């Protein structure tokens, strides 16, 4: 029966590729289904998709999912190969194949290696755990570089028998840091990719992909291991080639991620574009420019959620900070140390944190940038920069008061354009500390 001869009752779809249309004959006796799409019939590709990709792909994940996972697969394969080279070197170093080696000595070396790694894991999580969410890309790249360094140390360790245990212990610490940083940032990226509250499914399928890649790496390693067993030159050649592939693939994977929440780096780029071009760029424009390696250029340090005693040191400064200030933060500047400290009011929300950081970024431009090319409030910025340069007070309280007025004027427009451009403002990764304060504006009595 031709579809055009029947009445269309309803349609349905399964994800983006599978579509069904339901028809009824004119005599009302027959319901007919027409199925279309690449996945109308089961195939090997269908099975592969259901096993290794999240349910509902691509609608259930972020738009950068495929490009990120592709490069992540390449880097995992390269890391699997170099990891095999390192394992072979470690086994040789602890005495496998050496008749003079003892089980006790090998066991002690392995215990020390694992023990120092555990201590390193705890210390790193304590010192850096709260920053991993904020700069997931940067920490992901850091973890992969450190992993390659650790593998190199394990490969060369057998060449230095007196220091073998020390080298593998340091390598164990590095790998434990890699485990913490890599695992935490992977969770942050998975949360970004999961668009239907399906983080568990995305994470599980990511694990399946990694397992498949590691299996492929093991099969290749079975071929390579006999070739490199007694050939140190080939070992280093393979390590160099696969390490370069590993780092390149990681760089491409991190660059493929398009985060729509604001951290300090993305906010700085967004605000700079707004000041210089008069518009807020979308996330896909900002993310490729986000730094993922250590920055060495001079920049202002922003301490968000700082204690009051880092913002204020006297009742005079308290009066200056709260004068005509109805915002949910107090901002203090120290020109000598290049630090902006921001104390947050109890109950401050994500919008307040974003506004406070934009206020701090204004001081970054006033202190270290050329504002004459700005398209937004150029005359005001030039006047403020002159005021900052001529100020004798290192805390710049006159400039702080003047910039409050500038923020009041600019922030509503900037916030509206940011939301329209696709930025999420209901949550952020600005790295606020936990201090919260209560204060009353000057001239008001505390309740």
Q: Is 271 helix (H, G, I), strand (E, B) or coil?
A: helix
The band of 22, judged by pLDDT with boundaries at 50, 70 and 90, is: confident
Q: Is the pLDDT of residue 40 over 70?
A: no
Distance CA 82, CA 75 (A): 11
Strand partners, 354: none
Please state the domain extents for the chain.
Answer: 3-41, 65-257, 262-437
Least confident of 42-46, 275-279, 396-400: 42-46
Is 361:271 a contact under the CB 8 Å cutoff?
A: yes
Q: Is 328 helix (H, G, I), strand (E, B) or coil?
A: coil
Distance CA 381, CA 160 (A): 60
Quote the radius of gyration of the chain (alpha carbons, Å).
29
Chain segment 64-77, per-residue pLDDT in tens: 999 999 999 999 99
Distance CA 205, CA 86 (A): 28
Q: Is the pLDDT of residue 171 over 90?
A: yes
433 — alpha (psi -120 to 50), left (phi > 0) or beta?
A: beta
Q: CATH code for 65-257?
A: 1.20.1250.20
For residue 76, the surrounding DSSP H or E stretch is helix 65-93
Burial of residue 297 (CB within 10 Å: 0-12, 13-18, 19+) is exposed
Chain segment 348-391, per-residue pLDDT in tens: 999 999 999 999 999 999 999 999 999 999 999 999 999 999 98
Is 118:177 a contact under the CB 8 Å cutoff?
A: no
The band of 104, judged by pLDDT with boundaries at 50, 70 and 90, is: confident
Q: 3-state DSSP helix/strand/coil percent for the chain, to nearest 5?
A: 60, 10, 30
What Cα–Cα distance (Å) separates residue 237 from each residue in 8, 145, 158, 230, 242? Answer: 64, 18, 17, 14, 9
Looking at residue 281, what DSSP letter applies?
Answer: P
Residue at token pair 């922003």:
302
pLDDT computed for residue 74 by the predictor: 95
Least confident of 38-42, 119-123, 195-199: 38-42
Is 131:185 a contact under the CB 8 Å cutoff?
A: no
pLDDT computed for residue 11 by the predictor: 84
Distance CA 289, CA 266 (A): 8
Mean pLDDT of 258-282: 95
The band of 43, judged by pLDDT with boundaries at 50, 70 and 90, is: low
Q: Is the pLDDT of residue 8 over 60?
A: yes
Mean pLDDT of 311-337: 91
Looking at residue 108, what DSSP letter applies?
Answer: H
Q: Is the pLDDT of residue 253 over 90?
A: yes
Burial of residue 424 (CB within 10 Å: 0-12, 13-18, 19+) is middle
pLDDT computed for residue 39 by the predictor: 47
Structure tokens at 300: 């202002």
Q: Is the pLDDT of residue 321 over 80?
A: yes
The band of 441, judged by pLDDT with boundaries at 50, 70 and 90, is: low
- At 24, phi and psi to the nearest 5? -135, 135
Q: Is the pLDDT of residue 93 over 80?
A: no
pLDDT computed for residue 445 by the predictor: 40
The band of 310, judged by pLDDT with boundaries at 50, 70 and 90, is: very high
Residue 399 burial (CB count, 10 A) = 21
Residue 183 burial (CB count, 10 A) = 13
Q: Is the pLDDT of residue 166 over 80?
A: yes
Mean pLDDT of 310-334: 91
Q: Is the pLDDT of residue 139 over 50?
A: yes
Residue 283 burial (CB count, 10 A) = 20
The band of 92, judged by pLDDT with boundaries at 50, 70 and 90, is: confident
């Amino acid at each position: 029966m031709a579809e055009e001869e029947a009445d269309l009752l309803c349609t349905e779809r399964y994800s983006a590729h599978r579509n069904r249309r339901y028809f009824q004959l004119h005599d009302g006796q027959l319901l007919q289904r027409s199925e279309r799409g690449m996945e109308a019939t089961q195939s090997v590709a269908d099975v592969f998709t259901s096993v290794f990709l999240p349910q509902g792909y691509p609608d259930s994940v972020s738009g950068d999912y495929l490009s990120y996972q592709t490069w992540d697969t390449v880097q995992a394969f390269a890391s699997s190969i170099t990891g095999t080279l390192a394992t072979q070197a470690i086994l040789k170093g602890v005495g496998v194949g050496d008749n003079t080696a003892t089980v006790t000595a090998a066991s002690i070396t392995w215990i020390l290696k694992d023990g120092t790694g555990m201590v390193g894991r705890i210390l790193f999580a304590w010192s850096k755990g709260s920053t991993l969410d904020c700069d997931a890309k940067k920490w992901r790249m850091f973890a992969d570089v450190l992993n390659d360094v650790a593998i190199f140390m394990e490969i060369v360790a057998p060449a230095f028998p007196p220091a073998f245990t020390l080298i593998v212990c340091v390598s164990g610490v590095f790998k434990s840091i890699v485990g913490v940083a890599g695992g935490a940032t992977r969770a942050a990226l998975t949360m970004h990719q999961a668009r239907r509250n399906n983080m568990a499914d995305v994470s599980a399928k990511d694990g399946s992909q990694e397992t498949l890649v590691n299996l492929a790496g093991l099969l290749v390693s079975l071929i390579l291991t006999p070739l490199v067993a007694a050939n140190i030159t080939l070992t280093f050649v393979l390590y160099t080639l696969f390490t370069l592939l590993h780092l390149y693939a990681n760089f491409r994977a991190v660059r493929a991620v398009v985060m729509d929440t604001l951290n300090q780096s993305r906010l700085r780029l967004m605000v700079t574009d707004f000041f210089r071009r008069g518009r807020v760029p979308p996330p896909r424009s900002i993310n490729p420019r986000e730094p993922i390696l250590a920055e060495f250029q001079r920049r202002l340090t922003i301490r968000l959620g700082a204690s009051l005693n880092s913002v204020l040191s006297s009742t005079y400064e308290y009066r200056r900070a709260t004068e005509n200030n109805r915002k949910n933060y107090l901002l203090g500047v120290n020109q000598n140390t290049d630090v902006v400290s921001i104390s947050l009011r109890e109950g401050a929300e994500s919008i307040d944190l974003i506004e406070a950081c934009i206020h701090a970024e204004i001081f970054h431009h006033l202190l270290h940038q050329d504002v004459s090319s700005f398209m937004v409030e150029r005359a005001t910025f030039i006047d403020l920069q002159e005021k900052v340069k001529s100020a004798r007070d290192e805390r710049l309280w006159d400039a702080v008061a003047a910039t409050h007025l500038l923020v009041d004027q600019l922030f509503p427009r900037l916030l509206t354009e940011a939301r329209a451009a696709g930025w999420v403002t209901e949550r952020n990764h600005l790295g606020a500390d936990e201090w919260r304060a209560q204060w009353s504006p000057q001239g008001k009595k505390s309740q």
